[in-house]
Structures are given as structure tokens and as C-alpha cells.
């Protein structure tokens, strides 16, 4: 490497400096500050705050509210994530199948993705309007005899939870389809041809070729969905009263954090402790999945598979 | 052979049925929202309709009459989204360019660090962020929502993937021989070439800002600074309890701009999603 080139490469630091400064000020410091606050009894009202050690955390574990929020968040996430992946694998398999030649793939995908772009707050308010007592769902159900009389959907725990799960699924399955399909089309067709020559069935090819080669993509979807899901707020917050009613059944981590923040005294110390615990839980799960499930040579397999097949044939 | 063809046709029909059901599920709520925004409250209470009516202006007047400043919210959201888009695209491209073009010590570490940041729920530090901003006097100020985008890990990751797929080393070298500065090359050579990638990144940045509720809800307090998602939250209040037509119109006003953007740029958006995920 010549001296001039060596010097020039210092410009790399110059280009990434704004990011690093921005990250330190607006990313890292708030994380540190949240952690520091979680050990104090700071409120928005009082000027002086005391160090209280782990008291905030002890309080969180002392009653069921926090564990209930964590349980709700996981339940809602898991029950919308697996149908998402299932539908995405199914549709992608259909769309990429050369024998079926499904028409208008681009259009189907584009339309399925649309809900993902809509303002989540409006989507929640929309479903609230649809499922309110005088809303269109009751009109429809009663008029066509599916229900003897109008009911309060949003006072029923299973219906409200189911609705949050459905809305989350509705907003995200289109995106998952697009990503899974992009992953499937990047698998070299030669692999399937070789398998067909060996007499493999469609389901064998799916399990032995498609799924293993999709693994990096599936892990990506899994991790990003988990990180988003653990911070779910807008939909459950605006679907009912903002406290996760009925019976705290859709109270998520972030709703609980917000409730502590917005309580009459503004207990930001206690709110921070919720943030810290969920931060730790999510980061461990996300990074754990990423590092333990990922095989480092997965992407290499896709790139080199053509070559190795070719070698085998000759 | 005939049976094989028949089986394929049956399967194909089945698939089209499933796709149509999914399409109905996807579109009907959005369609009903837009239709209901044009119907009067009485019409809405009388029953369902899939055809628009004529009460759009009337609903708008009711909405304004109840004190909901929709134009103001629209202008606020638009200002915030446009500024956020510019900041995100410029600084993320700058960072991505630095990673892709230069070989410096710690480059590998820095790129891995970006990936880790994508997987960490930074939003959970919002409380610490809020208190820190209030110390700086930046609460109830859009700067608190815009400045953090200087370090937007997801956008940098996307920018890096995009720039790596462009071969531009020859152009950069040619510009250097012509005496261009390193920053000048970024502005005058790279930026014009990277317009498609920057546009995709920009659309995502715009939509993210437009849809953002949680951060704005925590940081912004005065009502004349409310963004559209925050106004939606006030629509849930008692004042609007029986004004269904007006409520639907308020909700429609927040999502129709996004639908228009999507209709224009869906190609960029759909290819952009796949790009962020693949090749990792």
C-alpha cells in the first residue's frame, strides 16, 4: 500500500465521525442515562432524587404487573409471528414455482405489503371504530344472523388479544413474504434440477434444499421481528383505553413503561427500570439467536453451490 | 399427461382462491375506511356500504368544528418527515460511503457494530433520552426527533449494501486524478450515481417519520406541534364519540398520503425491503 493511499484511508474516519458523534450523544448516552435513572427514585416533579439501589427492580418483580406485561408481549408476538412465517413460506413457494406460473406476482406482493406502510396509530383507531359497539362489525354480524345481538368485543379478553395479534399479522405478513421470496429466488435453480434428477419429491426439496438455504434470511426475519415485537406499543395502546384493557390483557412492556412515565407524579426512575429490563431481555434473545443459530458459512454455500455442483458433474 | 395438467390447474385455482381471500382481508379494512370518510354519521349507522357517498366536505367541517386542526397536523408531519428524510439520507450515505470506499483500521469492527445496533432495541432508552432532552431544553422541540437520525444504523446498513453493489472505484480514482477532494467526490460523483438507492432509503425514512407515534407522543407536548398520529390519538376522545364520519375522515387523512406515495414508488419500496435483508 503506497503512502498516499495509506493517508487517504484516514478519510474513512472522517466520513464515519458524524455517525459516531451522533451515536454517542443520542444513542449511547440515553442508554446510560436510562440505566442510571433506573437506580434512583427520580420523578418529573421533584428536583432532588435519591439513589435507591435495586429497589425499582425489586418492586417490578414483587407484583404481577410487570411479569404480566412481559407475558402478554411474548404471547402476542409469538402468535402473530408464526402465522406470518407460515404464510410467507407458503406464498413464496407458490410464487417461485415454475410449474404453476402464478400471474401478477408483483401486484399480489405489492398489495399484501400495503398495510405495513399505514400509520399504526390510525390502524389501531380504525379497528377500534370497526369493533366498537355501534361499529360496522356488529351491524354486519347482527344483520346476517351470525350473532343474536350486538356485543362488546373490546371487553372480551380473547377477542381483544386476538384482534391485536390479527392486526400485527395483517401489518407484517406482506413484508415477510417479500423477504422470504427474495431469499428463495436467490437459491440456484441447479440445486433443484440436480435433486429432480435424483428423484426427489417437492416436499423433500423444500425441506432439504429450500429451508436450509433460507436459514440466514429466516434468522434475519426472526431477530428483527422479535426486536420490534418486544417494543410493541401503538396498536395495543390505541385499540383500547391506553392501559391494556380489558383486564390488562394487552398491556405490553412499552405500555407499562409509558404508564409509569405518565403517572401523576411521573416516576421516570421506575419507568426506566422497565426499559432496562426489557432492553436486556430483548438484546440477549436477539443477539443470542443471531450468533448461535447462524452458521458462518451459510452465505458461502449459496455462492459456491453452483461451482461445486459443476465440479461434481464433471 | 392429461391428469398432470388437470392436477396443476386444480392447484392453481386453489392458489388463486387463497390469494383472493388474503387480498380481501388486506384491502377491505382500508377500503371501508376511505368509503366511510365520505359518508355521514347517519349513513354509517344505517349499515355497511362499499360505495362512497357525498359527505366528505361535511365531515371535514365537523372535524374542524370540534377543534381538530388537521391542516396544522398535516403540515407538522410533512415538515418533520421531509427534514428527517434529508438528515437520514445524507448522514447515512456519508457513513456508508466511508465504510465501503476506505480501508481503515477498525472498519470491520465498525460494520459489525452497525449490524449489532440494528438488533438492539434503542427505543427502550426513551425515558433516559427524554430526561436528557429536558435538561438540554429540547423537549417539545422537533430537534429531539430529527437529530438522533444522524446515527441511523438501519439506514447505514442499507446504504452499505447498496454502495457495495455499485462498482465505482474507477470513477473515484478518475475524480482524484482530476484533483477532486474526497468530500467533493462524495458529493459530486457518488451522490448523483446513488440516487436510486438514496431514493429508496428516503422513502423508508419518510414513512418511518410519518408513522412515528411513540417518540413524538413522549417528547412533544404543545398541541400546535402535534403530528398526525398524535391527532389520531385525540380523535379517541369524548368530543368525537358519535361523529363517526368525521373520525373516519381524520384517520383517512393520515393514511391516504402514504397510499399515494406507495402507488407512485411501490417498485422502489418492494425492492428496497428485500435489499435490506438479503446478502447479509
* Mean pLDDT, residues A33-37: 94
Percent of chain A clearing pLDDT 70 (strictly above): 92
* Mean pLDDT, residues B51-61: 87
Domains delineated in chain B: 68-235 (1.10.3720.10)
Put simply, whether A110 touches B (Cβ < 8 Å) is: yes
Nearest CA in chain B to A262: B218
Put simply, whether B118 touches A (Cβ < 8 Å) is: yes
Give residue A301's pLDDT band: very low, low, confident or very high (50, 70, 90). very low
Nearest CA in chain B to A38: B128
Angle at B220 between CA B216 and CA B222, to 5 degrees: 140
Spell B196-222 as b/e; 16+ CB within 10 A means b. Answer: ebbebbbbbbbbbbbbbbbbbbbbbee
Q: Position of cell 417519520?
A: B209
**Mind listing the pLDDT tens digit for each residue in A65-110?**
999 999 999 999 999 999 999 999 999 999 988 888 899 999 999 9
Q: Who's near A15: CB < 8 A, 6+ residues apart?
A: B94, B95, B97, B98, B99, B101, B102, B186
How many CB contacts within 8 angstroms connect chain A with chain B? 282
Tell me which chain B residues have a C-beta less than 8 angstroms from the C-beta of A129. 244, 247-248, 251
Give residue A311's pLDDT band: very low, low, confident or very high (50, 70, 90). very low
Domain spanning A62-313, CATH class: mainly alpha
Average pLDDT, chain A: 88
Put simply, whether A282 touches B (Cβ < 8 Å) is: yes
Nearest CA in chain A to B118: A224
**Mind listing the pLDDT tens digit for each residue in A237-278?**
999 988 998 999 999 999 999 999 998 888 899 999 999 999
* Mean pLDDT, residues A275-284: 94
Structure confidence at residue A99 (pLDDT): 82
Put simply, whether B33 touches A (Cβ < 8 Å) is: yes
- Given an 8 Å threshold on Cβ–Cβ distance, is A26 in contact with B150? yes
> Is A299 a residue whose pLDDT tops 70?
no
C-alpha dist (Å) from residue B90 to A77, A222, B164: 34, 29, 17
> Is A22 a residue whose pLDDT tops 80?
yes
Using CB atoms, which residue from A100, A175, A261 is nearest to B12? A100
Q: Give, for B27, the enclosing helix (H) or strand (E).
A: helix B2-37
Structure confidence at residue A34 (pLDDT): 95
User: Angle of helix B2-37 relative to helix A120-131, nearest 10 degrees?
Assistant: 90
- Global pTM reads 0.91
Using CB atoms, which residue from B27, B258, B273 is nearest to A179? B273
Give residue A296's pLDDT band: very low, low, confident or very high (50, 70, 90). low
Tell me which chain A residues have a C-beta less than 8 angstroms from the C-beta of B150. 18-19, 21-22, 26
**Mind listing the pLDDT tens digit for each residue in B128-156?**
999 999 999 999 999 999 999 999 999 99
A residues 47-86 closer than 8 Å to B (CB) = none
- Given an 8 Å threshold on Cβ–Cβ distance, is A112 in contact with B22? yes
Please tell me the distance in Å from B210's CA to the nearest CA on chain A: 7
Amino acid at each position: 500500500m503506497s503512502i498516499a493511499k495509506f493517508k487517504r484511508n484516514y478519510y474513512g474516519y472522517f466520513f464515519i465521525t458524524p455517525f459516531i458523534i451522533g451515536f454517542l450523544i443520542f444513542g449511547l448516552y440515553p442508554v446510560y442515562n436510562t440505566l442510571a435513572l433506573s437506580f434512583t427514585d427520580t420523578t418529573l416533579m421533584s428536583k432532588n432524587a435519591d439513589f435507591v439501589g435495586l429497589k425499582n427492580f425489586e418492586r417490578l418483580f414483587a407484583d404481577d404487573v410487570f411479569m404480566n406485561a412481559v407475558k402478554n408481549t411474548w404471547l402476542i408476538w409469538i402468535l402473530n409471528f408464526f402465522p406470518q412465517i407460515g404464510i410467507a413460506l407458503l406464498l413464496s413457494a407458490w410464487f417461485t414455482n415454475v410449474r404453476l406460473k402464478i400471474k401478477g406476482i408483483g401486484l399480489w406482493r405489492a398489495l399484501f405489503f400495503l398495510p405495513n406502510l399505514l400509520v399504526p396509530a390510525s390502524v389501531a383507531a380504525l379497528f377500534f371504530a370497526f369493533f366498537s359497539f355501534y361499529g360496522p362489525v356488529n351491524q354486519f354480524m347482527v344483520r346476517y344472523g351470525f350473532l343474536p345481538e350486538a356485543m362488546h368485543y373490546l371487553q372480551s379478553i380473547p377477542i381483544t388479544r386476538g384482534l391485536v395479534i390479527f392486526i400485527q399479522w395483517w401489518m407484517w405478513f406482506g413484508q415477510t413474504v417479500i423477504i422470504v421470496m427474495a431469499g428463495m429466488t436467490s437459491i440456484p435453480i441447479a440445486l433443484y434440477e440436480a435433486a429432480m434428477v435424483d428423484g426427489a419429491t417437492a416436499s423433500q426439496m423444500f425441506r432439504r434444499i429450500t429451508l436450509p438455504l433460507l436459514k440466514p434470511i429466516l434468522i434475519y426475519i426472526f431477530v428483527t421481528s422479535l426486536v420490534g415485537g418486544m417494543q410493541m406499543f401503538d396498536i395495543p395502546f390505541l385499540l383500547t383505553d391506553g392501559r391494556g384493557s380489558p383486564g390488562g390483557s394487552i398491556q405490553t412492556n412499552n405500555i407499562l413503561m409509558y404508564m409509569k412515565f405518565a403517572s401523576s407524579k411521573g416516576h421516570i426512575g421506575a419507568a426506566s427500570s422497565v426499559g432496562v429490563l426489557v432492553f436486556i431481555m430483548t438484546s440477549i434473545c436477539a443477539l443470542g439467536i443471531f450468533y448461535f443459530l447462524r452458521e458462518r458459512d451459510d452465505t458461502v454455500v449459496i455462492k459456491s453451490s453452483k461451482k461445486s455442483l459443476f465440479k461434481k458433474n464433471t | 399427461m392429461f391428469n398432470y395438467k388437470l392436477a396443476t390447474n386444480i392447484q392453481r385455482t386453489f392458489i388463486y382462491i387463497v390469494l383472493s381471500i388474503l387480498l380481501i382481508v388486506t384491502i377491505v379494512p382500508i377500503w371501508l375506511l376511505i368509503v366511510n370518510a365520505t359518508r355521514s354519521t347517519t349513513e354509517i349507522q344505517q349499515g355497511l356500504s362499499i360505495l362512497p357517498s357525498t359527505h366528505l366536505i361535511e365531515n371535514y367541517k365537523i372535524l374542524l368544528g370540534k377543534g381538530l386542526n388537521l391542516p396544522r397536523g398535516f403540515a407538522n408531519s410533512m415538515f418533520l418527515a421531509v427534514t428527517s428524510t434529508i438528515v437520514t439520507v445524507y448522514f447515512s450515505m456519508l457513513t456508508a460511503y466511508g465504510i465501503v470506499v476506505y480501508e481503515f483500521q477498525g472498519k470491520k469492527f465498525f460494520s459489525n457494530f452497525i449490524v449489532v445496533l440494528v438488533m438492539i432495541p434503542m427505543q427502550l432508552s426513551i425515558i433516559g433520552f427524554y430526561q436528557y432532552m429536558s435538561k438540554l431544553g429540547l423537549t417539545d422541540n422537533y430537534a429531539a426527533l430529527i437529530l438522533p437520525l444522524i446515527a441511523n444504523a438501519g439506514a447505514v446498513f442499507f446504504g452499505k449494501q447498496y454502495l457495495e453493489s455499485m462498482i465505482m472505484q474507477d470513477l473515484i480514482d478518475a475524480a482524484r486524478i482530476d484533483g477532486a477532494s474526497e468530500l467533493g467526490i462524495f458529493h459530486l460523483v457518488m451522490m448523483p450515481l446513488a440516487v436510486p438507492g438514496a431514493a429508496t432509503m428516503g422513502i423508508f425514512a419518510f414513512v418511518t417519520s410519518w408513522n412515528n407515534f411513540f417518540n413524538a407522543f413522549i417528547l412533544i407536548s404543545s398541541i400546535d406541534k402535534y403530528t398526525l398520529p398524535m391527532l389520531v390519538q385525540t380523535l379517541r376522545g369524548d368530543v368525537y364519540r358519535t361523529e363517526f364520519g368525521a373520525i373516519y375522515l381524520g384517520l383517512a387523512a393520515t393514511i391516504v398520503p402514504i397510499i399515494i406515495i406507495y402507488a407512485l414508488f411501490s417498485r422502489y419500496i418492494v425492492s428496497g425491503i428485500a435489499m435490506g435483508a438479503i446478502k447479509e
